[in-house]
Amino acid sequence: AQSVSQHNHHVILSEAASLELGCNYSYGGTVNLFWYVQYPGQHLQLLLKYFSGDPLVKGIKGFEAEFIKSKFSFNLRKPSVQWSDTAEYFCAVKGSGNTGKLIFGQGTTLQVKP
């Protein structure tokens, strides 16, 4: 069955610290991978996405993620977080093309202390 697992439920960092949020998925075929961010009281917005090609994907606001197929992972990274990065982060996976459903991990709440 298709599933997504995010390892960290709640992360607290100080400004300028580096960030890495873990995401592992389970799916038998070719996948499309996404990271979304949800700021307090808002809807989900796309941070970055992976379809194919270079496994290191760069997104908005200095975020990047690396797809490691052998580990079924798509971890999100940012070298230096800001207070404004405080939000909830969701990893999502969908089977490529017309297969598979778009499902999300449990989410990771990031709190950045000024």
Partner 1 sequence: DAGVIQSPRHEVTEMGQEVTLRCKPISGHDYLFWYRQTMMRGLELLIYFNNNVPIDDSGMPEDRFSAKMPNASFSTLKIQPSEPRDSAVYFCASSLVVGQRNTEAFFGQGTRLTVV
Question: How much is the CA Rg of the chain, to the nearest whole Å?
Answer: 14
| 101 counts as binding partner 1 under rule CB under 8 A | yes
Closest Cα to residue 57, out of 83, 82, 32?
32
| Candidate residues 8, 20, 22, 32; the one interacting with partner 1 per rule CB under 8 A | 32
CA dihedral 95, 64, 78, 24 (to 10 degrees): 20
Stretch that binds partner 1, among 14-22, 66-74, 77-85, 101-109 (CB under 8 A): 101-109
Q: What residues contact residue 54 under an 8 Å CB cut-off, 6+ apart?
A: none
The one among 3, 14, 18, 45 contacting partner 1 by CB under 8 A: 45
Site for partner 1, rule CB under 8 A: 30, 32, 34, 36, 42-46, 49, 51, 90, 92, 94, 96-98, 101-107
